[in-house]
Each structure stands twice: as structure tokens, then as C-alpha cells.
């Protein structure tokens, strides 16, 4: 396993931003970063060879996340985005301890914006089992529920990440999973769904289809979906500006690394983001 790289004194505004996820899901965050910070160099690491993280032990996720962070900082990254909900809840504290002072941004389910958006007072949360049972998530849920009176309905989505990793966004199997996970939340009165995994924004259209044809759902009030990728990009921009590390201009470059098939990651870049970066297979 890669040893932590702690010497980050050589970073400057021209250094890249490192972004990683258990697989392809973090591309949903990368697209917001690319849109909001169009001049920044970016490195994306997809750990698809070890995905999904949701069923792994917390210790495994921590060690895996530290190894990937070490690789990205070793590539000269000036900031790190942990674009994975499971890795954030398990490992972001450990990453910040290893690299104190570096801009490090994680993702967490958008419970606060979900509470602000709901009309019924009930918000469904779609996430991995690991995220939903983490102490960090449950503490956040209790805080937001207490402050707003919102009832959060938690739905682990076993198998959904695997389908998205396979590119089966609208397949019969994927739609069956979405029916299984989304319909009960609507039956229980949820009018807002928090996408608590960075993979899930890539099936937003399919989730809306399930909600639209669900007989008990009010078609005049479409379900609201909460994706926190935009908020992550804004927080990253604030941290870079505060550290004097924003790249003001110039042509950016984008590199991709994956522990699985480079062709699969390259195709995901092309079909999901309309980007064609250089992609390399690597084991970390």
C-alpha cells in the first residue's frame, strides 16, 4: 500500500486538484467542479477495481482512502475532493490528520437542503448501507431532524452502485432496483429524495420516471431530488480562494486513473461528461 506523502510545500496555483471515488460516481461531482472552476487542472481517480465501498469494513475504507489520497498528493495535487459519501464518513478525518492544512473537501448527504425543500415534512435518503449506519451520518440526521422537525426515511440501495458501474443506467435490472427503493419512500409520504451517493445523480432521470408513474404520487407536485455536487464545488472554490491557490486562467488538463479498465473510465468520461481525457490503469 502506498505510503502517505506529507510534503506538499511545492504546490501552487498551477497544481492540479485531486478527486477520487470508489468508482465512476465521483464524475457527478467532477462535472460541477469542471463547470465552476473551468481553468483548474484536474486528476480523477476511480477505484472501480475495489468498488463498491458500501459493504466494506470501516477500517478497510480508511486505509484504502489514505492510500489513494497519498497517490493524488504524490501527483502534486494542491487540494483533494473525496467524492464518495462512504469514504467521506469513514475516512475524511484520517485524511485531514495526515495532511493538515491542505484543502480537503468531502461529500455528505444533503439533509439540510432536503429539509428546506420538503413540503410534506418527509425526506427520503437513498444511500449505501455503510453511509446510513455511520455515526457521522446519524448524528447529522438527528441534528437536522431536531432543528427542522423533518422526518428522514432511510433507504439503503444495495446493488445500485454495481449497476451504475456497469453502465446499466436504464436497464430492466436497474429500474427494478429503483422501483424497489423509491416507491416505498413515496408511499410513506416523502416528496423530496436526497441522493446520498455520488453515483446516484447519473440515474436522476430514471428516479424521476419511477416517481412519475408511481400511482400514489401526486403528479402535480414532482418529487424534488437533492444532489450536493454543486455545493461541494462551491466549497472547494472557497477553500482555494482562501489559500490563494485558484488558477486564474489558462487551458486546463484532465487526467484519469482507474484500478479497473481504462476503456470503461474513458467511455464514462465521454458518455457522461462529453470529455476525452487521457486515462491510465493503475494499482495503488
Sort strands 254-258 and 42-46 into parallel, antiparallel or unpaired.
parallel
Sheet with 224-226: strands ordered across: 151-156, 122-127, 192-195, 224-226
Binding residues: 21-22, 53-54, 85-86, 198-199
Binding residues for substrate: 21-22, 53-54, 85-86, 198-199
**What phi-psi label fits residue 250: left (phi over 0), alpha (psi between -120 and 50 degrees) or beta?**
left
Percent helix, strand and coil across the chain, each to the nearest 5: 45, 15, 40
Show the CA angle centred on residue 123, arms to residues 119 and 127, nearest 5°: 155
Instruction: List active site positions.
Output: 84, 197
Instruction: Judge contact between 98 and 66, C-beta under 8 A.
Output: yes
Which among 211, 162, 220, 205 is positioned nearest to 184, based on CA atoms? 211
- Residue 98: all three cell numbers together: 495526515
Angle between helices 27-36 and 229-242 (to 10 degrees): 50
Q: What residues pair up with 226 in beta bridges, in sequence order?
A: 194
Amino acid at each position: 500500500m502506498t505510503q502517505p506523502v506529507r510534503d506538499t510545500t511545492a504546490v501552487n496555483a498551477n497544481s492540479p486538484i485531486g478527486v477520487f471515488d470508489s468508482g465512476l460516481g465521483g464524475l457527478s461531482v467532477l462535472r460541477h467542479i469542471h463547470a465552476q472552476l473551468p481553468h483548474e487542472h484536474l486528476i480523477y481517480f476511480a477505484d472501480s477495481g475495489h468498488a463498491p465501498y458500501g459493504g466494506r469494513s470501516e477500517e478497510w475504507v480508511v486505509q484504502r482512502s489514505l492510500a489513494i489520497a497519498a497517490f493524488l498528493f504524490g501527483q502534486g495535487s494542491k487540494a483533494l475532493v473525496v467524492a464518495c459519501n462512504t469514504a467521506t464518513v469513514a475516512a475524511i478525518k484520517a485524511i485531514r490528520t495526515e495532511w493538515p492544512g491542505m484543502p480537503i473537501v468531502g461529500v455528505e448527504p444533503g439533509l439540510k437542503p432536503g429539509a428546506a425543500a420538503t413540503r410534506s415534512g418527509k425526506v427520503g435518503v437513498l444511500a449505501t448501507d455503510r453511509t446510513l449506519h455511520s455515526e457521522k451520518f446519524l448524528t447529522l440526521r438527528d441534528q437536522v431532524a431536531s432543528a427542522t422537525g423533518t422526518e428522514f426515511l432511510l433507504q439503503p440501495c444495495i446493488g445500485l452502485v454495481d449497476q451504475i458501474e456497469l453502465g446499466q443506467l436504464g436497464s430492466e435490472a436497474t429500474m427494478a432496483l429503483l422501483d424497489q427503493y423509491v416507491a416505498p419512500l413515496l408511499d410513506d409520504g416523502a416528496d423530496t429524495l436526497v441522493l446520498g451517493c455520488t453515483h446516484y445523480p447519473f440515474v436522476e432521470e430514471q428516479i424521476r420516471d419511477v416517481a412519475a408513474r408511481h400511482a400514489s404520487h401526486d403528479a402535480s407536485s414532482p418529487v424534488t431530488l437533492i444532489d450536493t455536487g454543486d455545493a461541494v464545488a462551491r466549497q472547494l472554490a472557497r477553500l482555494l480562494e482562501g489559500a490563494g491557490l485558484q488558477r486564474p486562467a489558462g487551458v486546463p488538463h484532465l487526467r484519469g486513473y482507474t484500478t479497473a479498465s481504462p476503456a470503461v473510465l474513458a467511455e464514462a468520461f465521454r458518455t457522461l461528461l462529453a470529455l476525452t481525457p487521457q486515462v491510465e490503469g493503475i494499482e495503488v
